[in-house]
Amino acid sequence: MKHLMTRRIFAKFWAMAAGVAVVPALGTDIAAHAALWSSGDVNARSLDVRSPSTPDNDRLQSEFLLDLVLDTQPPHNVGSIAVNRIIVPVCGGTFESPSLKGTIVAPGGDWRVARPDGSSVLDVRLVLQTDDAQKIYVTWRGISYTPQGRTQYARIVPVFETGAAKYTWLNNIVSVGVHRPMPGKVAYRVYRIL
């Protein structure tokens, strides 16, 4: 009599074989997961491989980095097919924190895409000049929208670039900015992700 191996049987066989090969090297949590795989009773909760004694090192933490305040000029509505492209010139502004302070130098701008759902994708490029005359290039992408009956929501992810030795630490950080309402200005409070 011929024995036929279906895809399902082969998958179970492969999962058991992989589990048996990996389990001795990886420990008992993996052994329990290998048994779940081979039984076919796998769901998202059963695949959490952190042991109860593992510290929560994956919790997102941040610290204040700087406040940004942008001076803008009237936008140029370029239009487009399916989306609306808007260019907002940035003509100046300031940034400030305990570790750095200075002004935003022109030219700069936001090459924004206004989407049909009322939200906008932000695409900003600026040059920051510190009080000690060092230049820092910053770009960010972000999302901005105003929920019905509420205030504007905007979040940005700035990336910094500089050759100034005193500020090269900025080249290697991840940061997130939160929009702050300020009449006549565009303002963000930026946090460094630790």
Q: 179 and 150: one domain?
A: yes
Tell me the per-residue pLDDT of 65-111, one tens digit each, with 9 for 90 and over: 999 999 999 999 998 888 899 999 999 999 999 989 999 999 999 99
Reply yes or no on whether the pLDDT at 173 is more than 50.
yes
Range of the domain at 19: 7-47
**Secondary structure E strands in 7-152:** 62-72, 76-77, 84-96, 101-114, 120-130, 135-145
Tell me the per-residue pLDDT of 130-141, one tens digit each, with 9 for 90 and over: 999 999 999 999
Q: What is the pLDDT of residue 133?
A: 97
Per-residue DSSP letter, 157 = E
Reply yes or no on whether the pLDDT at 155 is more than 50.
yes
Q: 68 and 155: one domain?
A: yes
Q: 79 and 25: one domain?
A: no
User: Which CATH number characterizes residue 149's domain?
Assistant: 2.40.160.20
